[in-house]
């Protein structure tokens, strides 16, 4: 029913460019080749509406089968033995007692392979052995029965310690220093010169700790291999197609002989690509036992060895002139990614500075390697620069929103800042930070973000219309909880003039058409265009068959709407129409269409908080997030994702952070009892606003942009409320009380 609009000669499109290390968009004019189009965003029958998710009923009733829930016959339970030391040489693993426990079916140890070089564990939590047994209880007993002899080596778990002169080395390889230079851009001497001419200068240091993804379904797989030539791997993954190759290598099979299944998965947030060490161990155990192995990490495993969002340490010197122009910015940025490199967007993040210089480094520690986490590097950069912008604005005595607008060229930010300010009631904010009677102080703050996203030519989709009228759409992609299943169905239903319930989707299977991994908010922009293309092709194939029955109407002129097919002055019901199809039905094979995907978004967040200056406790009151995303495929799901972004930002701003014991080299809070996730009692009023003034008829992902600007907004709201500028996350009561104390002493 979405008819193509007549081809125009020229059209304007936006293309990505990198400005100051940040993706941005530039509009250019190109030939309009009459390719597939979504049509205007406000003219859809299903898309851009509020669609309850199609897997909702199986999820609310416990019927949805997650990886964790798979129970192939004869399945064993796998468990991982972790190193208790942050840095140690494994001398000996004695698993003989474990093997002797009745019910233990397989044991693998890091020392099994005599050809392998000695194992030096580099973080507390690194696997040194694994077992598979008939019950989880027996598997746990087996872990306790394994004796490992370690030679403990000196460790480093704090960035400050790693950078010290004469510090022990994190890696044995001399080519891998504790501090690795990453990027350098700009002219430091020009910045120094410009700072001299600035009316106000702020010199400040901002820190964010390591954050945990905390997906409720832990990492893991159920490897169903019983010997022979084929295997099936049920995986909790963001990349169905990243699994077969990894598993095949461990199992010694051909990649095509391994099938990956991801029916439902319980969250990933960037941490679940590839089979992981836990999957490799599951394969080894399954191969040894010739039986299926269920190896899902425990929650403590998950904290210690399943990746994290890198921390950051950013040092600024920045200056502005009286009129609010940012004239100079000098930034030194450290990424704290443990054994990994970490990630961080370059400064000045989004804002324009007449003179800017930055240099970036990774500081390594004996902690598990960082992984991608929802907008890798952006919330860290955004928190720091938004705090800095605020500090400059207050020093100048300028309104924080006006100061930002002054340094943002892009009109979309201006429009979104105005809308957010209206929605939160910016005029009500504390004119002087910390002002007001009584111990409960309210304040407001704001922040901005950006994300590239975009789609890739990676999805192959089949839409099949059967002679009995049933319609199916099949592609191997995975639904992380973002609503992939729902929009996949909706696109096909809309194209064929049907309802959502008339279409069945099959996803999460590497035997189906290929699809990209869900990273960088690229799933929707890669998948939706391919689904649309397949649906259009299926529609035209059906229309071609019907043409003789509809007075010879041209296939492209036959319309599909409200469960009917019309042309040549006649209308057939869907069932009647499909009866004319061949026995095998017709299938449209869809591929990615550039014209249907977009990339590059903005996004602003405003937050209001209440600070109790007697206890230092922060209570979030309200958050507003304004987001442009082109064509929202499903408004309900988009808003849910925006809520999720705000809530996760809130966690990062106020509560979350890995705590390490420097002496022991161990994490002190590897569990939900001590790692504080946002909970029901802390929820503010959340207002997710889709910016419909973005009329791009293109699909753009929304997962990552919605987590970026809120962290700075909350931190700035805390300052506006009580006058304390907390430069190290999370903003816990102790930091606020210490800030108030030092203010009082200073005054």
Q: Which residues bind other proteins (CB under 8 A)?
A: 52-53, 55-66, 68-69, 71, 77, 135-137, 213-218, 264-267, 269, 298-299, 480-483, 636-637, 639-641, 643-648, 671-673, 677-681, 683, 685-686
> How far is the C-alpha of 681 from the C-alpha of 237, rounded, in Å?
30
Distances in Å between the Cα of 445 and the Cα atoms of 344, 397, 688 are 23, 15, 16
Min dist CB 380 to other proteins, Å, is: 19
Min dist CB 61 to other proteins, Å, is: 5
Min dist CB 646 to other proteins, Å, is: 7
Closest CB to other proteins among residues 215, 343:
215
- Cα dihedral 722, 723, 726, 727 in deg (nearest 10): 150
Closest CB to other proteins among residues 263, 495:
263
Whether the bond between 574 and the residue before it is cis, its omega within 30 degrees of 0, is: no
Q: Which residue carries 């720091």 as its tokens?
A: 384
Min dist CB 60 to other proteins, Å, is: 4
Min dist CB 300 to other proteins, Å, is: 9
> How far is the C-alpha of 267 from the C-alpha of 688, rounded, in Å?
21
> How far is the C-alpha of 510 from the C-alpha of 512, rounded, in Å?
5
> How far is the C-alpha of 473 from the C-alpha of 503, rounded, in Å?
7
Tokens read off for 436: 């007001």
Min dist CB 635 to other proteins, Å, is: 10
Closest CB to other proteins among residues 162, 517:
517
3-class state of residue 728 by DSSP: strand
Closest CB to other proteins among residues 467, 619:
619
Min dist CB 710 to other proteins, Å, is: 11
Closest CB to other proteins among residues 60, 584:
60
Closest CB to other proteins among residues 449, 513:
449
- Whether 590 contacts 435, CB under 8 Å: no
> How far is the C-alpha of 59 from the C-alpha of 483, rounded, in Å?
12
Min dist CB 303 to other proteins, Å, is: 10
Contacts of 686 (CB under 8 A, 6+ apart): 622, 623, 625, 643, 646, 647
Closest CB to other proteins among residues 31, 685:
685
- Whether 509 contacts 240, CB under 8 Å: yes
Question: Residues of 35-51 as b/e, b for ≥16 C-beta within 10 angstroms?
Answer: ebbbeebeebbbbbeeb
Closest CB to other proteins among residues 207, 658:
658
Contacts of 164 (CB under 8 A, 6+ apart): none
Strand pairing category for 355-363 and 326-336: parallel
Q: Which residue carries 């449209």 as its tokens?
A: 588
Min dist CB 310 to other proteins, Å, is: 19
Centre a 10 Å sphere on the Cβ of residue 553 and count the other Cβ atoms it contains: 19
Nearest to 82 by CA among 152, 146, 156, 172: 146
3-class state of residue 459 by DSSP: coil
Closest CB to other proteins among residues 37, 80:
80
Closest CB to other proteins among residues 382, 518:
518
What contacts 24+ positions apart, CB below 8 Å, involve 437-442? Answer: 439/612, 439/613, 439/614, 440/610, 440/611, 440/612, 440/613, 441/610, 441/611, 441/613, 441/721, 441/722, 442/608, 442/609, 442/610, 442/611, 442/621, 442/721
Closest CB to other proteins among residues 289, 408:
289
Closest CB to other proteins among residues 266, 436:
266
> How far is the C-alpha of 470 from the C-alpha of 94, rounded, in Å?
59
Min dist CB 208 to other proteins, Å, is: 19
Closest CB to other proteins among residues 200, 646:
646
Min dist CB 223 to other proteins, Å, is: 17
Tokens read off for 732: 């816990």
> How far is the C-alpha of 127 from the C-alpha of 123, rounded, in Å?
9
Handedness of CA 718, 722, 727, 730 (dihedral sign): negative
Closest CB to other proteins among residues 505, 639:
639
Beta bridge partners of 352: none
Query: Beta-strand (E) ranges in 311-439?
Result: 311-320, 326-336, 355-363
Q: Which residue carries 């002496």 as its tokens?
A: 663
> How far is the C-alpha of 169 from the C-alpha of 522, rounded, in Å?
38
Residue 295's Cβ-count burial label (10 Å; 0-12, 13-18, 19+) is buried
Beta bridge partners of 331: 316, 358
Closest CB to other proteins among residues 611, 687:
687
Min dist CB 480 to other proteins, Å, is: 6
**Phi and psi angles of residue 299, each rounded to the nearest 5 degrees, phi first:** -60, -40
Closest CB to other proteins among residues 28, 216:
216
Min dist CB 217 to other proteins, Å, is: 5
Min dist CB 161 to other proteins, Å, is: 31
> How far is the C-alpha of 343 from the C-alpha of 376, rounded, in Å?
6
Q: Which residue carries 């940025």 as its tokens?
A: 333
Closest CB to other proteins among residues 220, 529:
220
Closest CB to other proteins among residues 550, 618:
618
Min dist CB 504 to other proteins, Å, is: 14
Centre a 10 Å sphere on the Cβ of residue 747 and count the other Cβ atoms it contains: 5
Tokens read off for 278: 């836990």
Nearest to 329 by CA among 309, 310, 347: 347
Strand pairing category for 604-612 and 76-82: unpaired
């Amino acid at each position: 029913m979405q008819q193509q609009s007549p081809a125009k000669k020229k059209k304007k499109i936006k293309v990505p460019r990198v400005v100051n290390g940040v993706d941005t968009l530039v509009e250019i004019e190109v030939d309009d080749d009459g390719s597939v189009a979504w049509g205007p965003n406000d003219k859809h029958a299903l898309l851009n509406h509020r669609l309850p998710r199609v897997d909702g009923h199986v999820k609310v009733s416990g019927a949805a089968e997650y990886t964790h829930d798979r129970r192939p016959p004869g399945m064993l339970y796998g468990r991982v033995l972790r190193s208790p030391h942050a840095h140690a040489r494994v001398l000996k693993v004695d698993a003989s007692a474990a093997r002797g426990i009745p019910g233990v079916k397989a044991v693998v140890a890091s020392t099994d392979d005599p050809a392998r070089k000695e194992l030096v564990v580099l973080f507390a939590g690194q696997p040194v052995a694994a077992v598979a047994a008939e019950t989880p209880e027996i598997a746990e007993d087996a872990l306790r029965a394994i004796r490992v002899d370690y030679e403990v080596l000196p460790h480093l778990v704090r960035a400050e310690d790693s950078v010290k002169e004469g510090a022990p080395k994190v890696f044995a390889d001399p080519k891998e220093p504790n501090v690795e230079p990453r990027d350098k851009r700009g002219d430091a001497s020009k910045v120094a010169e410009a700072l001299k001419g600035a009316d106000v200068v702020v010199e400040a240091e901002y820190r964010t700790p390591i954050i945990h993804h905390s997906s409720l379904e832990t990492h893991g797989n159920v490897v169903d291999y019983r010997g022979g030539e084929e295997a099936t791997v049920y995986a909790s993954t963001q990349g169905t197609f990243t699994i077969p190759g990894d598993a095949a290598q461990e199992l010694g099979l051909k990649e095509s002989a391994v099938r990956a299944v991801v029916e439902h998965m319980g969250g990933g947030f960037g941490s679940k690509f590839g089979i992981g060490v836990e999957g490799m161990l599951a394969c080894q155990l399954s191969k040894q036992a010739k039986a299926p192995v269920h190896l899902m990490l425990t929650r403590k495993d998950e904290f210690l060895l399943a990746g994290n969002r890198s921390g950051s340490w950013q040092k600024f010197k920045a200056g502005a002139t009286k009129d609010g122009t940012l004239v100079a910015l000098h930034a030194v940025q450290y990424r704290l990614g443990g054994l990994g490199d970490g990630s961080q967007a370059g400064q000045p993040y989004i804002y324009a500075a007449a003179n800017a210089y930055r240099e970036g480094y990774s500081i390594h520690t004996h902690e598990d390697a960082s992984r991608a986490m929802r907008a890798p590097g952006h919330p860290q950069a955004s928190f720091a620069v938004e705090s800095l912008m605020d500090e400059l604005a207050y020093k100048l005595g300028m309104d924080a929103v006006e100061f930002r607008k002054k340094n943002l060229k892009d009109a979309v930010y201006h429009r979104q800042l105005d809308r957010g300010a209206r929605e939160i009631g910016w005029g009500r904010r504390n004119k002087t930070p910390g002002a007001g009677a009584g111990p409960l102080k309210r304040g407001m703050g704001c922040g901005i973000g950006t994300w590239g996203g975009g789609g890739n030519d990676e999805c192959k989709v089949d839409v099949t219309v059967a002679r009995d009228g049933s319609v199916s759409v099949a592609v191997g992609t995975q639904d992380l909880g973002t609503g992939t299943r729902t929009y996949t169905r909706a696109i096909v239903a809309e194209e064929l003039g049907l309802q959502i319930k008339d279409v069945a989707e099959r996803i999460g299977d590497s035997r189906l058409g290929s699809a990209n991994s869900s990273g960088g908010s690229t799933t929707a922009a890669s998948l939706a265009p391919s689904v649309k293309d397949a649906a259009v092709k299926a529609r035209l194939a059906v229309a071609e068959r019907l043409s003789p029955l509809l007075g010879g109407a041209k296939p492209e002129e036959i319309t599909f709407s409200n469960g009917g097919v019309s042309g040549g002055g006649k209308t057939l019901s869907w069932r009647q129409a499909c009866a004319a199809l061949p026995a095998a039905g017709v299938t449209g094979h869809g591929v990615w269409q550039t014209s249907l995907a977009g990339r590059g978004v903005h996004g602003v967040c405003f937050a209001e908080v209440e600070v109790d200056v007697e206890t230092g406790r922060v209570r979030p009151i309200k958050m507003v997030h304004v987001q442009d995303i082109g064509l929202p495929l499903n408004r309900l799901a988009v808003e849910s994702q925006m809520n999720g972004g705000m809530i996760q930002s809130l966690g990062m701003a106020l509560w979350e952070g890995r705590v390490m014991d420097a002496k022991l080299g161990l994490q002190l809070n590897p569990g939900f009892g001590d790692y504080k996730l946002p909970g029901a009692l802390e929820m503010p009023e959340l207002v997710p606003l889709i910016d419909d003034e973005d009329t791009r008829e293109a699909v753009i992902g929304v997962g990552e942009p919605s987590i970026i600007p809120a962290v700075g907004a909350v931190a700035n709201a805390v300052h506006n409320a009580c006058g304390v500028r907390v430069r190290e996350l999370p903003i816990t009561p102790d930091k606020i009380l210490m800030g108030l104390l030092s203010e009082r002493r200073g005054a």
